[in-house]
Structure 1
Amino acid sequence: MDQDYLETTKDVYREAAENPQEGLCCTTTPVWQLPGLQVPAKMMTMNYGCGSTIHLRDLVNDPKILYVGVGGGMELLQFSYFSRQAAGVTGVDIVDEMLQVCKENLAEAERQNPWFSSDFISLVKGDALQLPVEDDSMDIAAQNCLFNIFKQDDLKKAIQEMYRVLKPHGRLVLSDPVCEQQMPENLKEDKRLRALCLSGSLPLNEYIKMITNAGFGTVEIRARRAYRILDPLNYDTTERLFIESVEVCAIKDPMPADGPCVFTGKTAIYHGDQQYFDDGLGHVLMHNQPLAVCDKTAANLAGLNRPDIFISNSTWFYDGGGCC
């Protein structure tokens, strides 16, 4: 298998560690402003991601957290805010220079934040395709704008590795670019563009399929936002390519017999002449009260052809409270 592209990726992020590049990525999510949290300026400059993997409803009961691809350490610091314990957060990266700069940034964060200790975070050299982490040991595993770099076979391995290290019902939180148009082969094979998290962008449904194929029984699409344009003027393409960033949570739930529950922001509303509607499958719609439903349940309800049940389109923003 040709893995030369991974060496190019290491070179790109080695340079990004030694010479921080504010414009390397374009984060679509505002940085969390948390009480008592100060993010050092260099750490902020090195926020090399396309979204956020910090979601407050995941971060309860002092979770053990794995973060792959440490960048400047900002999300490691944010995660440690919710897991203030020795080695509560493990950061894994393959690039020595990035690990060193991250360590320096965390030392500065310790000077600026009285509550924070560098002992909260364990930095480990390792490969996303063979994580140096025990099976079933993490409550949360996260990556931001890393998996988009991998070609399909390597992406499959990376997702399987995250599944392996998560505890039952643990959460894989991802932020990656996606593209619904067909990415030209010449751009896919451009090693630098792939390293910059652009030309490896998959359609969202393909991305979700790779996650569910690894065994994740529940998937939440938490955000979907405009990200970048690859245009004929600046890139070797004959059409304008629109890239979005998505934030996804995949939960290590058992796989339902009828397939995974994927939440894309659909809602069902019953507005008939009864107090509620029960579909007999565990879903109760109270009168005129919206219920977030997974795509599978939405399709089943739509198949009933009832004029008193309304199903919304996907909003691509889901924040819990759903049917499953």
Structure 2
Amino acid sequence: MSYLETTHNVYKEAALTPDVGLCCTTNPVWELPGLKIPKIMQEMNYGCGSTVHARDLTNNPKMLYVGVGGGMELLQLAYFNRQKEGVIGVDVVDEMLEASRKNFIEAEKLNPWFKKEFVTLKKGNALNLPVPDNSIDVAAQNCLFNIFKSEDLKKAIAEMYRVLKPHGRLVMSDPTCEQPMNDALRNDDRLRALCLSGSLPIAEYVKMLTDAGFGTIEIRARKPYRVLAPKHYATDKLIYIESIEVAAIKDPMPEDGPCIFTGKTAIYFGDNPFVDDKKGHILLQNQPLAICEKTAAALASLNRDDIFISESTYHYDGGGCC
């Protein structure tokens, strides 16, 4: 049995019998005016963060969500769109698609604004999406891509890139791990399906996205997730796993490489406004400016004693230098 077949079976079981906290952390449910999440959707929330960000969802974007779970994030996305077929949900597991259809009937009862035709559910594989090229404004996946092994992960990211419109964005949440994992963990297909042993270091995860062509990367959150302890897992040392929330934007690739925001900030404390003639960056006195990794390196190379550059916070909410 392949690792993808194991994953399919795990989520078939989770669709037929909801398993609260099956593979991931339980996250706070968005409290939005007039939005009520059915309890069954919360119980089937198999994600490790949130991919629903209001600033991504203005002007009625066409949205795609891959790996539907119980439909909770599809409902949240539809809240911002409210148009027939405004949101597409894709999943390879028939039972998960059927469970979501039933859950949307419950959502209609609780939410007068919601109609189940706002969401189109399609049977499909993340490695071969049933969606046309350049047709999606916002694509999302939550705790899915970490399941894929390297070559399949490249295919899944390339598919998301293909379906996005220019300047469209891929919003994701996945577990990451900075420590090496042994082969016993990496080759345990069930642990991979449970969103544990497929966790990558953040730098490797980001490189996968930029190699696919995404010109701007935003790391929006980095949070504690799980611990693999020797007494429970095939490891002789404790392994700490985090989850991150990331947006990869289909901007053109700059000549000097991608703009990667990891939560660094520049603060200028000189006497007059600082203007970087080469890049056009303007630093006002004691006004923090979010900067990408390239800008941080360029400013640091100036060796000025009136510019402070913070370490990466791995939290970025826009308004940056690029």
Is contact 2:49–2:245 with CA below 8 Å preserved after alignment?
A: yes
Who is 1:12 aligned against? 10
C-alpha deviation, 1:30, in angstroms: 1.9
Secondary structure in 2 aligned to 1:205? helix
C-alpha deviation, 1:280, in angstroms: 2.6
Who is 2:279 aligned against? 281
| Residue 156 in structure 1 maps to residue 154 in structure 2 | yes
Is contact 2:143–2:175 with CA below 8 Å preserved after alignment?
A: yes
From 250, 253, 272, give the equivalent of 1:252.
250
Is contact 2:275–2:282 with CA below 8 Å preserved after alignment?
A: yes
Who is 1:197 aligned against? 195
| Residue 175 in structure 1 maps to residue 173 in structure 2 | yes
From 208, 212, 215, give the equivalent of 2:206.
208
| Structure 2 unaligned regions, length at least 5 | none
**How far apart, CA to CA, are the structure 2 residues paired with 1:30 and 1:314?**
25
**How far apart, CA to CA, are the structure 1 residues paired with 2:28 and 2:294?**
31
Percent identical pairs in the alignment equals 68
Worse overlay, 144-153 or 27-36: 27-36
Alignment of 1:36-55 (within 5 A): 36-55=34-53
Who is 1:128 aligned against? 126
Is contact 1:270–1:277 with CA below 8 Å preserved after alignment?
A: no
Alignment of 1:1-324 (within 5 A): 4-27=2-25, 29-324=27-322
**How far apart, CA to CA, are the structure 1 residues paired with 2:124 and 2:214?**
24
**How far apart, CA to CA, are the structure 1 residues paired with 2:170 and 2:223?**
20
Is contact 1:179–1:203 with CA below 8 Å preserved after alignment?
A: yes
C-alpha deviation, 1:29, in angstroms: 4.0
Is contact 2:177–2:240 with CA below 8 Å preserved after alignment?
A: yes
Aligned partner of 1:204: which letter?
A: I
Aligned partner of 2:292: which letter?
A: C
Secondary structure in 2 aligned to 1:82? helix
Is contact 1:28–1:227 with CA below 8 Å preserved after alignment?
A: no
Is contact 2:24–2:195 with CA below 8 Å preserved after alignment?
A: no
C-alpha deviation, 1:25, in angstroms: 3.1
**How far apart, CA to CA, are the structure 1 residues paired with 2:123 and 2:230?**
39
**How far apart, CA to CA, are the structure 2 residues paired with 1:219 and 1:282?**
20
Aligned partner of 2:214: which letter?
A: F
- Evaluate the alpha carbon distance shift between residue 289 and residue 28 of structure 1 in structure 2; reply closer, same or farther with a 3 A threshold: farther
**How far apart, CA to CA, are the structure 2 residues paired with 1:131 and 1:260?**
26
| Root-mean-square deviation (Å) | 0.9
Secondary structure in 2 aligned to 1:11? helix
C-alpha deviation, 1:23, in angstroms: 2.1
Aligned partner of 2:52: which letter?
A: I
Secondary structure in 2 aligned to 1:143? strand
Is contact 1:170–1:251 with CA below 8 Å preserved after alignment?
A: yes
**How far apart, CA to CA, are the structure 2 residues paired with 1:246 and 1:97?**
28
Aligned residues between the structures: 322
C-alpha deviation, 1:102, in angstroms: 0.6
Worse overlay, 19-28 or 109-118: 19-28
Is contact 1:28–1:225 with CA below 8 Å preserved after alignment?
A: no
Aligned partner of 2:8: which letter?
A: K
TM-score (norm 1): 0.98
Aligned partner of 2:295: which letter?
A: T
Aligned partner of 2:320: which letter?
A: G
**How far apart, CA to CA, are the structure 1 residues paired with 2:27 and 2:168?**
23
**How far apart, CA to CA, are the structure 2 residues paired with 1:150 and 1:103?**
26
Aligned partner of 2:219: which letter?
A: I
**How far apart, CA to CA, are the structure 2 residues paired with 1:125 and 1:278?**
51
Aligned partner of 1:106: which letter?
A: F
Worse overlay, 109-118 or 23-32: 23-32
